[in-house]
Amino acid sequence: MSIGAAQQRVQEIARFRTEMLVSKRGQRFTKRQPVTAILSACPLRVHYPLQVRDRRVSPRGEQTVWEVQLLGLEAVRTLVALGCC
């Protein structure tokens, strides 16, 4: 599965409310204000060559990683990160 396909399959894990230094739409300066964030994740299977010098004939390794997405509802920022399990 590609990263683009995984982004379509992320499932919401948590929704939480916190305070952050942000500048919402139309605000010039950052200030501490409440924001709502959605945490979503999806597992991915990554395949890679074990011997980097000879990639064509190298045996392939695989590992499960998680695509984690943190989305601010107030359109603050979206963070996409890949992390190993």
Contact 71, 77 (CB under 8 A): no
C-alpha span between 77 and 51 (Å, rounded): 37
Q: What pLDDT is recorded for position 82? A: 42
* Sheet with strand 31-49: strands edge to edge: 11-22, 31-49, 60-72, 78-84
pTM over 0.75: no
Which tokens belong to 35?
A: 């924001």
**Residue pLDDT, tens place only, 16-73:** 888 878 777 777 888 888 888 888 888 888 888 887 777 677 888 888 888 888 877 6
